[in-house]
Amino acid sequence: MEKLVIKGPTPLKGEIKINGAKNAAVAILPATLLIDGICTLDNLPHISDVMISCEILEKLGAKITWNTKNCITIDTRHIDTTQTPLDLTSKFRASYYMIGSMLGRKGEIEVGMPGGCQLGARPIDQHIKGFEMLGATVSVGNGVIYAKADSLVGNSIYMDIVSVGATINIMLAAVLAKGTTTIDNAAKEPHVVDVANFLNAMGADIRGAGTDIIKINGVDRLNGNSTYSVVPDQIEAGTFMLAAVATKGDLLIKNCITKHLDSITAKIVEVGGIVEDFGDSLHVYCNHRPSKANIKTLPYPGFPTDLQPQMGVVLALADGTSIINESIWESRFQYTQELNKMGAQITAQGKTAIFEGVETLSGSPVCSTDLRAGAALIIAGTAANGVTEVHNLEHIDRGYEDIEEKFRSIGAQINRIKT
Ligand code: UD1
């Protein structure tokens, strides 16, 4: 077991380089199963979700060569089995992308029920509905999902709810299907677009990703033989933007797509921070106590739920009373109890939390309840007076590369300690 020990307060200052996007990487890796060839993936974040994805691909027959820490070459010419290791697939959420990819590649797949952060109920009915409309049969039982299709045929699929995972999964299943698939009410997140860009670079014909309607014209084969660089991580960039504001710091955040961060920039400006936009980098600073703001999380281009806890730290320290309405996940306020241990005054009920801003937080032992909650607690520990210990690091390591090195490089006094 490990913990992070943080001594604050420290205004975070300096430059930080953003890695490739976790949520794009964990979809692009399974997407390589659709390729009857070899491809190279660059700008892959070196995080545990990526490592587990690679392990699953290898168990299915893929050959992976690590060129550098963030670049792999993957040969998916020989996929020998349709059974994924159930213990590995149930370790993280994105293992459900193996279903869309393997239905396309082999017409059959068995995966463990996806794991991941406990944010409330995480149904996959829209994924299943999409697969069935393409001609697959899907059964779920005893912690296992089994899907089979003699052939997949394009169809018009209306999503009852905007779902990132279902949009990507149906796109994966449709790439090699016969005819045209239309996904209506599709998710528009940057990683949906990135997966479509990757597949198109490998020979797919996907149009409209990033809008409400995605059209996939089925092709016979994906050839690969190409190098693809994963999009910069919108959520990692937003995490550091909010860390700059919460700690009254001054950060230059490099290697990001600033357009993806518009909703965060707008809220930072609303609370009194300054954001200078240079297209592929952002200068964010705030030399005073932030002011209150209200937030509602929404699908892209709305304020992302995955930055709600980090924004929560800013509002916990803000001047005045703020309200966050979480519209995506039903239990994403577990981190507020941890912040309250540090002196915050937050009342959370259901999907709403009221933040009575306090001037300072004080260090305390806290528990990372999920991935983004963990990032929020590191920010809180950096802003707080005294020593904070963050426990349960496995969540954080699933999604942030070298998190403590990065915080240390911008001034945080943070150390990882074995317990
Ligand atoms: C992805 C992200 C996650 C992020 C979330 C919302 C990955 C690996 N994870 O999760 O970090 O918090 O998007 O931006 O990319 N829903 C259904 N039925 C379904 C699917 C979803 O009702 O079949 C509901 C969910 O309960 C939730 C909402 O739709 O309320 C959005 O979920 P979705 O976009 O699918 O989230 P994930 O893809 O699981």
117 in catalytic set: yes
> Do 273 and 351 have their domain in common?
yes
Mean pLDDT computed over every residue of the chain: 95
Out of 174, 209, 229, a domain closes at: 229
Out of 188, 205, 229, a domain closes at: 229
Q: Is the N-terminal amide bond of 190 cis, ω within 30° of 0?
A: no
Reported as a single tens digit per residue, the pLDDT across 271-290 is: 999 999 999 999 999 999 99
Q: Is the N-terminal amide bond of 365 cis, ω within 30° of 0?
A: no
pLDDT at 121: 65
Reported as a single tens digit per residue, the pLDDT across 323-354 is: 999 999 988 999 999 999 999 999 999 999 99
Dihedral of CA atoms 161, 305, 392, 377 in degrees, nearest 10, equals: -170
Interval between CA 116 and ligand 1 midpoint (Å): 11
Q: What is the mean pLDDT of residues 187-216?
A: 98
Looking at residue 67, which CATH number applies to its domain?
3.65.10.10
- Res. 144: pLDDT tops 70: yes
| Stretch among 139-143, 335-339, 383-387, 398-402 having the lowest mean pLDDT | 139-143
The ligand 1 atom at the shortest distance from the C-alpha of residue 168 is: 38
Out of 168, 197, 229, a domain closes at: 229
- Res. 43: pLDDT tops 90: yes
pLDDT at 117: 60
Task: Give Cβ neighbours of residue 295 (< 8 Å, ≥ 6 apart).
Answer: 267, 303, 308, 311, 315, 322, 323, 324, 325
| Stretch among 75-84, 153-162, 172-181, 243-252 having the lowest mean pLDDT | 75-84
Query: Band of the pLDDT at 114, cuts 50, 70, 90?
Result: confident
Query: Band of the pLDDT at 94, cuts 50, 70, 90?
Result: confident
> Do 58 and 163 have their domain in common?
yes
Interval between CA 100 and ligand 1 midpoint (Å): 16
Query: Band of the pLDDT at 419, cuts 50, 70, 90?
Result: confident
Among the options 39, 71, 117, 256, which is catalytic? 117
pLDDT at 376: 98
pLDDT at 116: 61
Interval between CA 400 and ligand 1 midpoint (Å): 19
Q: What is the mean pLDDT of residues 404-418?
A: 97
> Do 365 and 407 have their domain in common?
yes
> Do 56 and 149 have their domain in common?
yes
Q: What percent of the chain has pLDDT over 90?
A: 89
Domain of residue 55 covers: 22-229
Rounded to whole angstroms, how far apart are CA atoms 399 and 236?
9
> Do 30 and 167 have their domain in common?
yes
The ligand 1 atom at the shortest distance from the C-alpha of residue 125 is: 23
